[in-house]
């Protein structure tokens, strides 16, 4: 389990979840409600339902269950039976839901949509973290998230033991090839070191400055500008090893981040090159959902 102090479901995550669950419930109910429950379920019917893991994985998003049912009814109790970031096994109960059957059924799909998606991210992240155990490399996410899901997806990465990259364009400088192409036309200078220096001079002093390179020649140039981090884009392991040697000799304080097409099959070899960071878009854009389900434990009329 990751350090729970880094896993706080804070104000940003709560606000993000409330916005999304409001949209989700509106999609399901419009101004009409659940036609099936209106036809078949009596207002006095009550139930206890268990949220059960069908497969092995890492759970994330449990606080959202309570938010969904609070939005539907103040008569539904959501009781988490484990913590976000915990490993769960098939058949394990991760939460219990107790209250009016109608409200339980209305909230079922919305809750599972959140939990299965976020737990899938946490589970995939944990697999990458496990593959790189014993190396210096940390596993990071990217900005490749579903629109509106950014803070929740990055929370799920932390639940899986990963580390967050910048949250958005506002909290870090990352100079990429298109930035250089546009900037160099304006100033008549394509030096990465010059771009880093300019970015540093025009940014808050405590803001991280990172620059992307895709050749070792560009790495030499970038290191002259003294960035905080250099992103090594789509380099093979031999190139990454040489990049680490260059960095160690020229600017040992600079962190090196590998990125581009990283998979579970390749991440160990990449980590063993000596890079400090490995960023993986697939953590948030391609994680399969974790199989969780609502199982009825008891129904009372």
Residues that are catalytic: 109, 144, 176, 212, 233
Cα–Cα nearest to 233, from 215, 245, 252, 248: 215
* Percentages of the chain per state (helix, strand, coil), in multiples of 5: 45, 20, 35
Tokens 């059960």 found at: 52
Angle at 123 between CA 120 and CA 125, to 5 degrees: 110
Angle at 108 between CA 106 and CA 112, to 5 degrees: 145
Residue 45 CA, chain-centre distance (Å), reads 38
**C-alpha pair distances (Å), 11 with each of 15, 152, 268:** 6, 11, 35
**287 token code pair:** 């994680």
Element (H, E) at 298: strand 292-300
| Range 240-247 contact pairs with CB under 8 angstroms and sequence separation of 24 or more | 240/270, 240/273, 240/274, 240/275, 241/273, 241/274, 242/216, 243/216, 243/219, 243/273, 243/275, 244/273, 244/274, 244/275, 246/216, 246/219, 246/220, 247/219, 247/223
- Give the separation between CA 214 and CA 231, rounded to whole angstroms: 8
Three-state DSSP state, 182: helix
Count of CB atoms situated within 10 Å of the CB of 32: 8
């Amino acid at each position: 389990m990751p350090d729970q102090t880094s896993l706080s479901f804070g104000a940003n995550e709560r606000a993000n979840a409330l916005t999304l669950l409001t949209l989700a419930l509106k999609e399901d109910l419009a101004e009409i409600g659940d036609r099936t429950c209106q036809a078949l379920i009596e207002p006095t019917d009550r139930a206890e339902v268990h949220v059960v893991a069908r497969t092995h994985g890492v759970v994330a998003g449990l606080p959202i269950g309570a938010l969904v049912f609070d939005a539907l009814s103040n008569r539904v109790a959501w009781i988490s039976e484990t913590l976000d970031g915990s490993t769960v096994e098939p058949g394990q109960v991760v939460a219990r839901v107790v209250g009016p059957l109608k409200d339980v059924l209305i909230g079922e799909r919305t809750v599972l949509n959140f939990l299965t998606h976020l737990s899938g991210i946490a589970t995939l992240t944990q697999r990458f973290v496990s593959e790189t155990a014993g190396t210096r490399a940390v596993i990071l996410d990217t900005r490749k998230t579903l629109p509106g899901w950014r803070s929740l997806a990055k929370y799920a990465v932390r639940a899986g033991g990963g580390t967050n990259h910048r949250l958005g364009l506002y909290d870090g400088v990352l100079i990429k090839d298109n930035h250089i192409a546009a900037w160099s036309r304006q100033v008549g200078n394509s030096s990465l070191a010059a771009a880093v220096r300019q970015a540093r001079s025009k940014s808050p002093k405590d803001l991280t400055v990172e620059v992307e390179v895709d050749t070792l020649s560009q790495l030499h140039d970038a290191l002259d500008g003294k960035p905080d981090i250099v992103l090594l884009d789509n380099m093979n392991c031999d190139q990454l090893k040489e990049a680490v040697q260059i960095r160690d000799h020229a600017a040992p304080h600079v962190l090196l981040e590998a990125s581009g097409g990283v998979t579970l099959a390749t991440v160990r070899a990449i980590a063993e090159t000596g890079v400090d960071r490995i960023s993986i878009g697939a953590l948030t854009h391609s994680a399969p959902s974790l199989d969780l389900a609502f199982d009825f434990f008891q129904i009372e009329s």
